[in-house]
Amino acid sequence: MSNVIRVRAGLLRETHPGERRVALTPDDVRRLCERMSVRFERSCGIGAGHVDDAYIAAGAEPAEFAEMAPSSDVFVSVRQPAATRIFPATSVVIFLGSNAAPVAGLAAGQRPLYLDIARLSGMQGVKGADISSRQAAITGHAAVLEAARQFGISHPMLTVDGSFVRPVKMAALGSDAASLQALATARRLGALTHGFGPGKDSQAKIERFGARFLGTSLDQELSDPLSKMQLITTNVVIPGQTPPVLLDEDMLSRLSPGAVVVDLAAESGGNCALTRADETISVSGIRIIGSTTLASHEAGEASRHFSDGLRNLLEHLIDEHGILRLGPGDSTTAALMAETNRMRRVSS
């Protein structure tokens, strides 16, 4: 029997308002407990449908943050923990991209090692690389369902007295996973879909989902088709920069009253000139949704996918003896520990 002390992990309760996901489900905790000890904050999984007793049955122990903080090696959460949470300088904190800055006033050597899973996005064959894309897809799906709720309809192809309701015209500005899933969801609901994307391969991606391609640059030629849209989702983010304004006030004024804009880039500044993060505003009859917690609308499913990817990542980082391996020769750990985040850069 080995005398090596296994990694001690802490599963955190999310603190961001409206965030209902959990980083690990009881099923994945059970599998991880074979190589590491796990403590969890009480009620961490309630929003996603997982009670404390399920975590205890899986082999985890409940603990307050003040208890687990001094004696845990690894902490996991969906979002970057609030700056008010102080972690040991020797610990590792794993989470999915956030705009929160590290704790102010602490030198680099006094901070824990922050590992942002977003750094793995797009890396083929790397453990945990699919977490970002899966969460983005769920967000895009939820965005369209939320817009349908805002319209006050349950289905664009709803039949009333034998006649079909006129299909909603929808455009997705962006060719990322969230935008493509928004197109797919809207099309399944019967909408007439259109897509805009700045990348050279955007047209192929968008047309693969059965949408009409609108182009790769926002110019006067787009004003007319966009003005006819009843639903627009936006998610164009440039790494290291504030998101570009795709819908300025002039463009918004051209939209028909009743149109809905879902700005999926709201957390990092927004693609719409009037977006307010975590708010829904109405301007001249147009609703602009700046929610940053759309994935939490489907917290159970989103948590299942997040947990599955995180378990795979932890099983890669922690060997069968329970030792955390962060070797620079491994592509996964090299990406996680890179100084520059591919998705966004937080200034320290």
Beta bridge partners of 126: none
Contact, 233 vs 172, CB < 8 A?
A: yes
For residues 340 and 348, what is the distance between their CA atoms, to the nearest angstrom?
12
Contact 174, 193 (CB under 8 A): no
Main-chain dihedrals φ then ψ at residue 296, nearest 5 degrees: -70, -15
Order of strands, edge to edge, in the sheet holding 231-234?
A: 212-215, 192-196, 169-173, 231-234, 260-263, 286-289, 280-283
Backbone angles phi, psi at 334, to 5 degrees: -60, -40
CB count within 10 Å of CB 94 equals 22
Rounded to 5°, the CA angle 120-126-130 comes to 60
Angstrom distance (rounded) from CA 156 to CA 160:
11
d(CA 315, CA 31): 9
User: What pLDDT does residue 160 have?
Assistant: 52
Q: Token pair of 246, please?
A: 């795709």
Count CB neighbours of 336 within 10 A: 24
First to last CA, the chain: 43
Beta-sheet pairing, 260-263 with 231-234: parallel
- pLDDT of 2 reads 45
User: Dmax of the chain from CA atoms?
Assistant: 74
pLDDT score, position 207: 97
Give the C-alpha separation, 313 to 81, whole Å.
19
- Give the list of residues 6+ apart from residue 51 with CB closer than 8 angstroms, or none: 45
The pLDDT assigned to 124 comes to 80
Residue 220 neighbours by CB under 8 Å, 6+ apart: none
Q: Which amino acid is at 269?
A: G
Distance CA 290, CA 304 (A): 25
Residue 344 makes CB contacts below 8 A (sequence gap 6+) with 97, 99, 118, 237, 239, 240, 268
With a cut of 50, which residues of the chain have pLDDT below it? 1-4, 100, 157-159, 339-348
**Pair 337, 112: CB distance under 8 Å:** no
Predicted local distance difference test score (pLDDT) of residue 167:
85
State the pTM of this model. Answer: 0.89
Question: What is the DSSP code string of 106-172?
Answer: --GGGS-EEEEGGGGTT-TT-TTTHHHHHHHHHHHHHHHHHHHHHHT-S-TT-EETTEEPPPPEEEE
